[in-house]
Amino acid sequence: MNNRIWMQCIIGLIACLSSILTNASSIEGYWRSIDDRTGEQLTIIEIRKAPDNTYRGKIVYIYPNAQGVVVTHCTNCPAPYTGKPRMGLDVLTGLVEDPQKPNNFINGRIVESKTGKVYKGKARLTADGKRLHMRGYVGISVLGRTVVWIRTDSANP
């Protein structure tokens, strides 16, 4: 009888831990992007898994800049993004989970809507699932920069 209770406790604990670990590896949700140079909050991005099993991120909220102005259109972006509204813009496309490294994502493309620059992208989710280290680069990963996105609960600040 005592062994049976212990076995049920162990099975319950394993089930709880596996659900926690599964949630920690999901990048789906809302993320607050922050300018790594100024510390200014930029946007809230919603990341969702697409039908082709890649992750896409679109802007769902734009913070006002230091002058209090909300920049609504992607004026510096290359085609096909030129002049498009920033709200709803897919700034992250093609990101896939790295099969060899848990909580790592590769093969993405990042559009920096503030400057109009387009980068190859990869990401690493922290173990607690609260921060996403987004690395944008041209050519090889060493020639890039990393920004940290912070998980948030909703599309509104």
3-state SS, one letter per residue, for 54-119: CEEEEEEEECCCCCCCCCCECCCCCCCCCCCECCCCEEEEEEEECCCCCCEEEEEEEEECCCCEEE
Rounded CA separation 119/117 (Å):
7
CATH fold for domain 27-152: Lipocalin (2.40.128)
Q: Which residues pair with 152 in a beta bridge?
A: 30
Cβ proximity of 23 and 129 under 8 Å: yes
The residues spanned by each domain of the chain are 27-152
| Local confidence band at 18 (pLDDT 50, 70, 90 cut-offs) | very low
| Local confidence band at 4 (pLDDT 50, 70, 90 cut-offs) | low
Helix (H) or strand (E) holding 31, with range, is strand 29-34
What is the value of pTM for the model shown? 0.80
pLDDT given at position 3: 60
pLDDT given at position 14: 59
What whole-number percentage of the chain has pLDDT above 90? 62
Phi first, then psi: what are they for 17, rounded to 5°?
Answer: -65, -40
Q: Which residues pair with 29 in a beta bridge?
A: 47
pLDDT given at position 156: 86
Instruction: Tell me the pLDDT tens digit for each residue of 105-130.
Output: 999 999 988 888 899 999 999 999 99
First to last CA, the chain: 52
Which pairs count as long-range contacts for 62-71, CB under 8 Å and 24+ apart, including other chains? 62/86, 62/87, 63/157, 65/40, 66/38, 66/40, 71/114
pLDDT given at position 20: 45
Q: Is the pLDDT of residue 25 over 80?
A: no
- In this predicted model, which residue has the larger pLDDT, 15 or 14? 14
Rounded CA separation 129/115 (Å):
28
pLDDT given at position 141: 86
Cα 126 to the center of its chain, rounded Å:
11
Q: Is the pLDDT of residue 17 over 60?
A: no
Peptide bond into 102 cis (omega under 30): no
Instruction: Tell me the pLDDT tens digit for each residue of 53-109.
Output: 999 999 999 999 989 999 999 888 888 888 899 999 999 999 999 999 999 999 999
